[in-house]
Structure 1
Amino acid sequence: MLRLRSCCIVARLISPPSASSIPPLHRLLSTTVPVPANPGFAVEEYLVDTCGLTRAQALKASAKLSHLKSPAKPDAVLAFLAGLGLSGADVAALVARDPKFLCAGVETTLSPIVVELTGLGLSPCDIARLLTLAANTHLRNKSVVSKVDYYLRLFGSFEEFLRAFKRNHHLLSCSLERVVKRNVGLLQECTLGACDIGKLAVSVPRMLTANVEQIRAMVASAEALGVPRGSGMFRQALRSVAFLSEEKIAARTDYLRKTFRWSDAEVGIAVSKGPFVLVSSKDTLKRRSEFLISEVGLEPAYIARHPSLLSYSLEGRLRPRYYVMKFLTENGLLKRHTCYYTFVKATEMEFLDKFICPYKEAAPHLAEDYAAACKGEVPTRFGFT
């Protein structure tokens, strides 16, 4: 009997889901044959044979399901998950993570939650993706609907919310009223708009569930960098100092000072204009320092005034555009002096329009050589002495 029931459930799990609406789920549930109480029901075997858990996972999970006397509820839950389109592997992962999910009431809990999430604009596929990520009681607690609704409005889309949720599963377990909304309110006091807060929360989702004192400390650290509230750079400053202690910030500014030969004042200028330098890797900063100072010949003070130079790819942008600038200069093709930063900051389209296309006749191979340089090659015509 167990083998027959297992085959039926597994068949549902691997078969393609029906139409992407709620009614098919009810039709699927209505076909589940009730199984009478079985005092000899073997939970561990059921988890292995029907749910796809490993023996070790089943042994651990069965301790939380020892009260089960019949596969009736688990069978209904598995049929429900199959109706949402979860694969056998997804179901196994979900059950291993949250064995008690098998005890959730389909009609009383799971189905109403899915109906409400669908009302928020989520598709069965979206809900299935959320289920594969959610832990513990998240998706069998009706409060999940109001939380998802709030995050959809905060992040602007389900995809952005999912990006944040992958990095912070506490988003669905943390109190909206006591924690999340309080932190959002504090960020709003810093003159950050809803869009800015949403973008900040995607990159640093812990900020929404952190202790309020940690948020206040981040705000103070951002202001200490010389980035005032209300400035366009404040969001980036908050992101850069998020969860960094004063000691770590001091150590990173000291590294910047030594690597770029900056004075204290120049470090302050660079960090206030480009807070991202605080979280850039040491190797990235060192390689850019060597190239910009030793090869391009830029003064440290110039780099401090234009810290965005440190945000661009060395091989894909800084070096190829330097080659073009030097080629045009040494061949007398530039009509007037143009600083290196102008070459670098231009978008690709602007760069081609300003520094490649006008020289098609005078330098017919320039476009080809520039493209090769962007791939890491150094054409012979860029072999400067």
Structure 2
Amino acid sequence: MLPVQKQHLPLSFRPRTTVTLLSLRRHQCRLPTTRFSTAAAAYSASRADDPFAVEEYLVSTCRLTPAQALKASKVLSHLKSPSRPDAVLAFLSGLGLSDADIAAAVAYDPKLLCSEVERTLAPRLAELRDLGLSPSQIARLVLVDPARFRRPTVVSKLQYYVPLFGSFDNLLQAVQEQRLPPQLRPRAGGQAQRRVTDGVRARCL
């Protein structure tokens, strides 16, 4: 998994760049070839004339366990082709996520595979870069909650909550703790921190 790095979100944001179709395609062209993209190509070639088997794709290409694939396939039954999932996997690989990271993200949020790279994921990546997030911070955000990464409101939420929590790392930790059962969530160290996390954590991002 990706290492946790202590980095603070800059207070001054870089000028917003214009996201064009050409720039998004150039971004996709720079994505490295990984085992995921190779496996996706192999799957597509082997099943060119067959109906798209979502559950099989999740196991053979996304590296989910059979149990995870069975659960995820229930919300992906409408997919008729691997073209969009293949593009999403290539995009995630380009962020620097490992095979295990991508499998974890897909298992947690199967609908991620339904995203349009050019219309949703690549513009969101550009917005977060303009905000001042490093590639590793963006990758960690995707790992903690892929659904939040896809939302158009993620930038404005980060602008509001990062100063409130003191740093991007503190905010990400609070969001990550939301995914833990209550009995496993660490107790806040002080009254001020408790007030922040208790009152805000459920609404952040």
TM over 0.5: yes
Residue number in structure 2 paired with 1:167: 177
Q: Distance in 1 between matches of 2:166 and 2:201?
A: 18
Q: Distance in 1 between matches of 2:59 and 2:138?
A: 25
User: Any residues of structure 2 matched to 1:318-337 within 5 Å, and which?
Assistant: none
Alignment partner of 1:149 out of 128, 137, 159: 159
Higher relative contact order (CA 8 A, sep 6+): 2
**Count, aligned residues:** 159
Matched, 1:49 2:51: no
RMSD value over aligned CA atoms? Answer: 3.0
Deviation at 1:108, TM superposition (A): 0.4
Deviation at 1:122, TM superposition (A): 0.6
- TM-score with structure 1 length normalisation? 0.37
- Partner SS, residue 40 of structure 1: coil
Q: Distance in 2 between matches of 1:129 and 1:38?
A: 37
Deviations along 1:23-51, whole A, 9 cap, x unmatched?
77322469988x69865111111100110
Matched, 1:87 2:102: no
Give the gaps of 5 or more residues in structure 1.
Answer: 1-21, 170-198, 212-385
Deviation at 1:62, TM superposition (A): 0.7
Q: Distance in 2 between matches of 1:120 and 1:152?
A: 11
User: Any residues of structure 2 matched to 1:210-249 within 5 Å, and which?
Assistant: none
Residue number in structure 1 paired with 2:142: 131
1:38 and 1:70 in contact (8 A); partners too: no
- Partner SS, residue 77 of structure 2: coil
Q: Distance in 1 between matches of 2:193 and 2:31?
A: 39
Deviation at 1:119, TM superposition (A): 1.1
Q: Distance in 2 between matches of 1:87 and 1:65?
A: 23
Deviation at 1:73, TM superposition (A): 0.4
Q: Distance in 2 between matches of 1:81 and 1:67?
A: 22
Paired-residue identity, %: 53
- TM-score with structure 2 length normalisation? 0.67
- Partner SS, residue 29 of structure 2: helix
User: Structure 1 pair 29/71, CA: closer, same or farther in 2 (3 Å)?
Assistant: farther
Deviation at 1:163, TM superposition (A): 2.3
Amino acid at match of 1:63: K
2:175 and 2:201 in contact (8 A); partners too: no
2:52 and 2:82 in contact (8 A); partners too: yes
Alignment partner of 1:66 out of 77, 89, 93: 77
Deviations along 1:295-335, whole A, 9 cap, x unmatched?
xxxxxxxxxxxxxxxxxxxxxxxxxxxxxxxxxxxxxxxxx
2:62 and 2:106 in contact (8 A); partners too: yes
Structure showing greater radius of gyration is: 1
Give the gaps of 5 or more residues in structure 2.
Answer: 1-22, 180-190
Deviations along 1:263-294, whole A, 9 cap, x unmatched?
xxxxxxxxxxxxxxxxxxxxxxxxxxxxxxxx
Residue number in structure 2 paired with 1:205: 197
Amino acid at match of 1:205: T
